Structure 1
């Protein structure tokens, strides 16, 4: 059994190795299954584990400002959020169509939370996401022009399926920032 575990790990099938250990611990549950059924369960566990790992990596790389969940959005009167519209956005159709979403509202209305909830949902759908406060992004791009990383930064931004630019219009753009 140790040899099988080592082989699974050397093949980078750690989720399958964990599932195999679970099968060994709960032998009565799996004893009546055919070899192919047990193997299928191990492979399914590996696929699910890899998918979850990828989602967690996408969320980490997104660098979201808040840990927002679509289910936690409050649709109270006067907020201007429509459940049907938000439900449609959470399906990710706008990403497939390469459309933009503009979230407007008064300061403190929860625009950042809604944007981060959309981003978290996009990560769950395996889209790459990046959150930026606009002023910080423009500063980084300005620095990139000076140190030669500007094109690399633009390329990295262009590879994202969803780019969130937060606090747009909160500060007056400098002439240098306006040139980006």
Structure 2
């Protein structure tokens, strides 16, 4: 507010405003500053892989992105309704970027988020069993408003990993929202999980209350492919 007051003093016509109007401007400035700091702190804790924002999403690239559905997701209602978002498609079509953009939007709306790759989450949970941090990690994941799990289905799951996933999704079912990205179509997830009983339990908590973004097309990374000059004969 002190900075805002100093800024007001530099405005030639500021004295034309009443005391109440000037005070209102100071309060608005303070509120905006606090919201900016809080959002910056939420984004730092989220550890998003990419600094993706909804404004940066490319709808021109032909990859089957449902623009209407994505616009509805931007409202954040799915987070409040404790639903999930499943983003599937081949490598390079922007799955991680879209997931991070959704998480960024959730942070803007005052919600907590956290990004993690599944190939790193599962070993971390295994280590947690040994060092005593397992229960604390599960509790932190359970209370995060939007959990982003990237690279689902890249490697076979152990029985221990399957049970860890069931614990995570059971804690979050009906209370929090989750984003999953995968190169595998959802119809192949049951087989990828491995154990039929645990697969049924995991997918029952994950898929039934979910919005699906099914992408296709060429890799967006090709846009940045260097063009080498032809060799001179």
Same fold (TM over 0.5): yes
1:38 equivalent among 22, 35, 40: 22
Partner of residue 17, structure 1? 2
Which structure has more helix as a fraction of its residues? 1
CA distance in 2, matches of 1:34, 1:175: 69
1:105 equivalent among 81, 89, 107: 89
CA distance in 1, matches of 2:117, 2:137: 15
Q: Please, what is the CA RMSD of the aligned residues?
A: 1.4
CA distance in 2, matches of 1:164, 1:158: 12
* TM-fit CA distance, 1:78: 4.5
Q: Go from structure 1 to structure 2 and tell me whether the alpha carbon gap of 1:77 and 1:20 turns closer, same or farther (over 3 Å shift).
A: closer
Correspondence list, 1:3-152, <5 A: 16-26=1-11, 28-76=12-60, 78-152=62-136
Task: Point out 4+ residue stretches in structure 1 off by more than 3 angstroms.
Answer: none
TM-score (ref. length: structure 1) = 0.86
Higher relative contact order (CA 8 A, sep 6+): 2
- Can you list the C-alpha shifts for 1:96-147, whole angstroms capped at 9, x where unaligned? 1000111111111211011011111111111100000011111111111111
Partner of residue 3, structure 1? none
Which structure has more strand as a fraction of its residues? 2
TM-score (ref. length: structure 2) = 0.67
CA distance in 1, matches of 2:60, 2:36: 32
CA distance in 1, matches of 2:120, 2:162: 13
Q: Go from structure 1 to structure 2 and tell me whether the alpha carbon gap of 1:76 and 1:33 turns closer, same or farther (over 3 Å shift).
A: closer
Query: For structure 1, which segment, 71-80 or 135-144, has the greater mean C-alpha deviation from structure 2 after superposition?
Result: 71-80
* TM-fit CA distance, 1:86: 0.5
